[in-house]
Amino acid sequence: MNPQAIELNNIIVTHNRIVLKLLTKRGKNIFFPKKGILGQTADAKGKKINATIGIAVEDDSSPMRLPSLEKQININPSLAFPYAPSFGRPDIRTKWKEKIYEKNPSLKGKEISLPIVTNALTHALSTTAYMFLRKKDTLLVSDLFWGNYNLIFTHAYGSQISKFSLFEGDKFNLQSFRESVQNIKSKKKVILLNFPNNPTGYTPTMDETESIIKILKEDADQGNRLVVILDDAYFGLVYQEGIARESIFARLADLHENLLAVKVDGPTKEDYVWGFRVGFITYGIKNGTKELYGALESKTAGAVRGNISNACNLSQSLLLQAFSSPTYHKEKTEKYKILKARYDKVKEVLSNKKYEPYFKAYPFNSGYFMCVKLKEGLDGEQIRRILLDKYDTGLINLNNVFRIAFSAAAEKDIPQLFENIYLACQDVEKM
């Protein structure tokens, strides 16, 4: 093992030996190199002649760039063309941490890590698996989950996905969650919670959230070691009263010395910048210290460097400018209102009892999506094809559950969307 990895592991053991046990062999071996090329480059920073960095520069030492590209970007070239650090730009890391505290008041007074920048949330989840999931480890998720989890956790890292039932009637299935957590045989347990949920658009109520936290604490109290990953891709997009508006991370960040909370989030969905590819990984654990978090940050940045080197500098710079804009919050409110109006229209349309013989909605209260389950005997793929060919309508079929992205449908089109599903179901029934 590299001495720099050993040094980081020793820091982790000193501050919380459970965290070291949570790391995979890869996680224990990884480090961010402070020596070698990167160390020598850091030594030369600010020198009059610096022939260490791996970019080309103009004679005035500014980044070399093509005028045809530069004229398209209204930003200082130094914020666009050079590499960003593997940790992410220091200014956006600090700003995102501030925003986490602002959006989650329950975090006040709790110490969390400085976020590490990733190439959006998929890469953040993959990096988290690199750090904490071994081959054949079990990852507990809900039975309704984003299909890309299979590629990330199972096919890429060889982990086994175990599922709990997300719903019992129109509520979160606390009994299934409790039993599923308890039934993981290993003392190390990795659990992924995704709220608002993709594909269902469900976020637990305040009472349900308290029960989830209680279940996790009880398991940690029994001496089990937990990594709880919070996939907060759709954070903030909650449309009903009584629903948890803070991330569960805020409560888990100092819940127990045996529970490491890993917040995976970013502006992709929150700020409508899907193509910018910027995400964050943030850690929280009871009695977490700056030294412990610093070691985890270095390991995570090492994993980023060893995989993609670094995330896009231009995207980070543009986002940072937007976050500082005096109109930023007003603009976000305006977009939120559009999505909520679409959500409200879906609720209104589905109040019509005529749809019940053909499909029923799963509970939904947030996010970009909602799902309807087809009645027994209907073929979802057959209906999906009819919707495409006859009704000029596209949606996602997930084993006779239709995922409907109301985020991508104009409010005026939502009544027709569900009417088309209704008509297509009737067409199949008549066949």
Q: How confident is the model over 181-190, as a mean pLDDT? A: 95
Structure confidence at residue 312 (pLDDT): 96
66: which residues sit within 8 A by CB, 6+ positions away? none
Which residue reads 């995207």 in tokens?
315
Q: How confident is the model over 170-199, as a mean pLDDT? A: 96
**For residue 416, is it within any domain?**
yes
Of the ranges 4-8, 39-43, 112-116, 196-200, which one carries the lowest mean pLDDT score? 39-43
CATH number reported for the structural domain that contains residue 370 in this entry = 3.90.1150.10
**For residue 342, is it within any domain?**
yes
333: which residues sit within 8 A by CB, 6+ positions away? none
- Which of 323, 353, 376 is at the close of a domain? 323
**For residue 273, is it within any domain?**
yes
Distance in angstroms (rounded) separating the CA atoms of residues 122 and 304: 13
Structure confidence at residue 369 (pLDDT): 97
Residues 145 and 286 in one domain: yes
Mean pLDDT, the chain, rounded, equals 95
| Token pair in block for residue 168 | 């019992």
Structure confidence at residue 49 (pLDDT): 75
Q: DSSP for 125-151?
A: HHHHHHHH--TT-EEEEESS--THHII
Report residue 48's pLDDT band, with 50, 70 and 90 as the boundaries: confident
- Which of 273, 303, 323 is at the close of a domain? 323
Pick from 179, 171, 368: nearest CA to 274:
368
| Token pair in block for residue 246 | 């803070």
**For residue 74, is it within any domain?**
no
**For residue 286, is it within any domain?**
yes
Residues 350 and 240 in one domain: no
Pick from 2, 13, 9: nearest CA to 35:
2
Residues 278 and 358 in one domain: no
51: burial class by Cβ within 10 Å (0-12, 13-18, 19+)?
A: exposed
Pick from 412, 374, 376: nearest CA to 395:
374
Has residue 68 got a pLDDT over 80? yes
CATH number reported for the structural domain that contains residue 256 in this entry = 3.40.640.10
Cα-Cα-Cα-Cα dihedral sign, residues 349, 352, 358, 363:
positive
Residues 208 and 343 in one domain: no
- Which of 281, 302, 323 is at the close of a domain? 323
For 99-155, the pLDDT digits (tens) are 999 999 999 999 999 999 999 999 999 999 999 999 989 999 999 999 999 999 999
Of the ranges 40-44, 86-90, 284-288, which one carries the lowest mean pLDDT score? 40-44
Residues 311 and 399 in one domain: no
Residues 311 and 406 in one domain: no
Host domain of residue 180: 3-32+86-323
Structure confidence at residue 191 (pLDDT): 98
Contact yes or no for 32/302 (Cβ under 8 A)? yes
Structure confidence at residue 50 (pLDDT): 75
Residues 114 and 215 in one domain: yes
Residues 162 and 209 in one domain: yes
Cα-Cα-Cα-Cα dihedral sign, residues 142, 146, 149, 150:
positive
Residues 183 and 298 in one domain: yes
Residues 351 and 286 in one domain: no
Residues 239 and 370 in one domain: no
For 192-211, the pLDDT digits (tens) are 999 999 999 999 999 999 99
Residue 205, strand partner residues: 243
Structure confidence at residue 210 (pLDDT): 97
Has residue 422 got a pLDDT over 80? yes
**For residue 73, is it within any domain?**
no
Contact yes or no for 139/314 (Cβ under 8 A)? no
Residues 259 and 345 in one domain: no
Distance in angstroms (rounded) separating the CA atoms of residues 315 and 310: 12
Number of domains in the chain: 2
What pTM was estimated for this model as a whole? Answer: 0.94
Share of the chain above pLDDT 70, in %: 99
